[in-house]
Amino acid sequence: MGPPPPRIVRGRGHRVQDEHGRWLVDANNNFAVLALGHANAAVTDAVSAAARDGACFGLPTPWEGQLAEMVVARVSHAEQARFTNSGTEAVMTAVRLARALTGREKVLGIAGSYHGSSDVALAIKAGVDDPTRPDVVTVPLNDVDRLEATFAAHGSDLALVILDLLPNYAGFEPVTQAFLERTRQLCDEHGTLLAFDEVISFRLARGGLQSTTSVTPDLTVLGKLIGGGLPIGAVLGSEHTLRPLSPLSESPIESSGTFTGNPVSIRAGIACLTQYDDQQIDRLNSLGEALLDRLVGHLPPGWTVRGVGSLVRVMPPEGEGAGPARQAFWWAAHRRGFVLMPSGLMALSSPMSEEVVARLGEAVLESAEEVASMVRYNEGRE
Ligand code: PMP
């Protein structure tokens, strides 16, 4: 946002302070990372202790195994986890692994879905056939007919299908059970691997959003939350599926990184997940539902609000003016003392009280109304 963007110097709990000393309620939370808010005491202690003990080593630490066990215990299909430095790298690792296991190149994703900034991921986000990227094919969200047609055309070349179960940039609507089931069937018929990207959606349930469906992937990609605010990513799967990622396997594939599994990120992640239990998750999701309730039916005509648990997204009417309206909406909320994501997504954090969330709801309604009336004025309707 900008130029210039507001520059932040510190965060505490549910708020951030800018360089001019102004405190703002943070519903961005570093793009949904900070479910426990800023500078959580146990996370801060873990980070300080890890830094004091030496920030990185060229050998594994016991904590790496501990965090792996914690995430594996939550994700029902997983037996092992391999850490990376970001969600982007975890997706890259999943793609490389699927290609190695299948001997194929093509990856299928939902058009518009964001899976990080690798070339393959960005081709999925672009969502249009690109002759320079014959290794990527996309289908519109929840379009089972297109999914079937794509498998009919490319099934024997498909290494991997990657799905975010709640793809923000593809409209922030959940992937339907019918689409998921058909995807699983087609993957099984064609020997294609299925990965769920739960980099954002993992915060929504103890076992990730996948725990609310009956469909099981072969790989799960995590990031954000599991590093407690420090850089991280992870690929989870069965021992058999992840075997090529081990340097000890017969034909290993590359998955190294100087900082992967670094103890600062890992110990922060342990401190975060230890606190992020069922009770915290339920409370946070209830706050999100209250926010959604306040907004549904009260936004200006053409505006949309969608939400699942602690994630709620407000969108101006689609079309030419949507980009500028999103920007104006962001700044209108900022003027009222609230920070959203530029897409209009809000990710709540546990230090938020009901009262703070109620104020957030009012600020969102006022900001949307301000932008809508500006648009009406500009169009000569007011
Ligand atoms: N997948 C999803 C669903 C994401 O939302 C993101 C980041 N917003 C990524 C992958 C990439 O993660 P990172 O920014 O840590 O590389």
CA dihedral 140, 134, 136, 192 (to 10 degrees): 110
Indicate whether 181 and 254 sit together in one domain.
yes
The tens digit of pLDDT for each residue in 319-368 reads: 888 999 999 999 999 999 999 999 999 999 999 999 999 999 999 999 99
Indicate whether 121 and 262 sit together in one domain.
yes
Q: Is the CB of 82 under 6 A from ligand 1?
A: no
Domain that holds residue 90: 42-275
Q: Is the CB of 361 under 6 A from ligand 1?
A: no
Query: Can you spell out the DSSP letters for 83-123?
Result: EESSHHHHHHHHHHHHHHHHS--EEEEETT----SSHHHHH
CA distance 162 to 221: 9
Per-residue DSSP letter, 353: -
Total domains in the chain come to 2
Indicate whether 69 and 97 sit together in one domain.
yes
Which of 26, 106, 164, 197 is the catalytic position? 197
Last residue of a domain, one of 242, 275, 308: 275
Question: Which atom of ligand 1 is closest in space to residue 89's alpha carbon?
Answer: 16
Last residue of a domain, one of 275, 293, 308: 275
Residue 32 clears pLDDT 80, i.e. is over it: yes
> By the 8 A CB rule, do 78 and 226 touch?
no
Indicate whether 263 and 317 sit together in one domain.
no
Pocket test for ligand 1, best of 165, 224, 230 (most atoms within 8 A of CB): 224
Indicate whether 72 and 185 sit together in one domain.
yes
- Structural tokens at position 378: 């500009």
What single letter denotes the amino acid at residue 130? D
Last residue of a domain, one of 250, 275, 300: 275
CB count within 10 Å of CB 328 equals 19
> By the 8 A CB rule, do 204 and 311 touch?
yes
Indicate whether 258 and 282 sit together in one domain.
no
Residue 224 clears pLDDT 70, i.e. is over it: yes
Confidence of residue 235 (pLDDT cuts 50, 70, 90): very high
Indicate whether 196 and 206 sit together in one domain.
yes
What's the rounded mean pLDDT across residues 229-240?
A: 98
Question: Which atom of ligand 1 is closest in space to residue 201's alpha carbon?
Answer: 3
The tens digit of pLDDT for each residue in 49-59 reads: 999 999 999 99
Confidence of residue 382 (pLDDT cuts 50, 70, 90): low
Whether pTM exceeds 0.95: yes
